[in-house]
Structure 1
């Protein structure tokens, strides 16, 4: 399970060091792809394969399904963390997420998300008020 917020830096070669506490779970390889809200999703390979099978089984006769499949699969890059826990973020994905130097890597249960740190702060500020309201929609009757 991936939880918490970590603040690594992107080096000059476009490499990012993944949080040490997640390295064992990611040692088998990761799939880096465009997420929503201009962040990157980082899935363990096995988790991505399960999701990809669901996406691939959707009816490709539906235009929006084909568009989603193309967008997701064309923008996915497979990486294997090196001995220091670093992965390379390809330029296309860095551009999409607006990654420069300072990054935020957040745990999102089954995946990590990589954000430009300033974009992450703006997102938090913009959505802080809706957090309490969303609880009722996400977890009705709980808490």
Structure 2
């Protein structure tokens, strides 16, 4: 399993393309799935990771209104991309709108996925949640650190 880590600051070009960090390109070279993430960022998964997650989502009961809504948003908002020779992927206008992407972006490795953020939105998110990091660590890793 590939691990995505780090923070990078690429820019969208005039055609809505984003250059993926060089460290991520080998794993994503065979294609990737770009979808709406939480907190108005975009998630980028390898095809394999997306298929594994999507299979679980698709198994949710159709009798659940929230499951149907999540499935619709996830699957209708996902775009398959193949990075070009320079490691660029095209971000659709709908996904750019959802994430508020203008020019300056932040790309972070989030272990099993890559996240794409508008630079200002990422800065605001960091400022808002910086103090919560220690508390969250205690909840996520009780007694481990």
- TM-score bracket, normalised by the shorter chain, equals over 0.9
**In structure 1, what is the equivalent of residue 122 of structure 2?**
120
Matches within 5 A, 1:1-143: 1-143=3-145
How far is the alpha carbon of 1:54 from its aligned partner? Answer: 0.5
TM, length-normalised to structure 2:
0.97
Once the two structures are superposed, residues 67-113 of structure 1 have per-residue CA deviations (whole angstroms, 9 ceiling, x without a partner) of 10001000000000000000000000000101010000000001000
Structure 1 unpaired stretches of 5+: none
Moved over 2 A (4+): none
TM, length-normalised to structure 1:
0.99
Q: What count of residue pairs does the alignment treat as equivalent?
A: 143
Which whole-Å CA distance do the structure 1 matches of 2:64 and 2:105 have between them?
A: 36
RMSD: 0.5
Which whole-Å CA distance do the structure 2 matches of 1:119 and 1:23 have between them?
A: 24
